[in-house]
């Protein structure tokens, strides 16, 4: 699974997940994101799941864990383009309100950021 982590101006990160998200892949992504979170460089994470075909429970844990990390700084989390199955999982997990029906650019605009060169 290849993922892409983009840092946008104004402390917004876009994480584009591709292929399959399993326990091993979540560990790598968690480490990469956590470093930026702990340095106080992020205020929002946009999870773009458009090209993600499979996610096990560790994927939900990855997103929930980063949301917990954001609590002290009031950071925001947005989930874009989950499959219908994943959308149901997010609804059942209490994350339905974090699923937005917007594009990356519309989400960045709503969060008050600027996406350069993408």
Residue 13 has pLDDT above 60, yes or no: yes
Q: Could you tell me how far CA 22 lies from the centroid of its own chain?
A: 15
Domain range 3-110, CATH architecture: 2-Layer Sandwich (3.30)
Residue 9 has pLDDT above 80, yes or no: no
Ranges of each domain in the chain = 3-110
Q: Left, alpha or beta for 94 (phi > 0: left; psi -120 to 50: alpha)?
A: left
Place of tokens 């609804």: 91
Higher pLDDT, 105 or 118: 105
Task: Answer whether 30's CB lies under 8 Å from 60's CB.
Answer: no
> Tell me, what's the pLDDT at 36?
77
């Amino acid at each position: 699974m290849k993922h892409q982590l983009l840092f946008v101006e104004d402390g917004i990160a876009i994480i584009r997940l591709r292929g399959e998200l399993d326990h091993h892949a979540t560990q790598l992504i968690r480490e990469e994101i956590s470093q930026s979170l702990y340095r106080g460089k992020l205020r929002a994470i946009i999870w773009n799941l458009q090209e993600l075909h499979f996610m096990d429970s560790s994927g939900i844990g990855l997103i929930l864990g980063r949301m917990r990390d954001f609590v002290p700084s009031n950071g925001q989390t947005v989930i874009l383009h989950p499959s219908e199955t994943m959308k149901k999982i997010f609804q059942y997990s209490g994350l339905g309100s974090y699923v937005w029906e917007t594009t990356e650019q519309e989400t960045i605009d709503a969060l008050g950021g600027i996406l350069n060169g993408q």
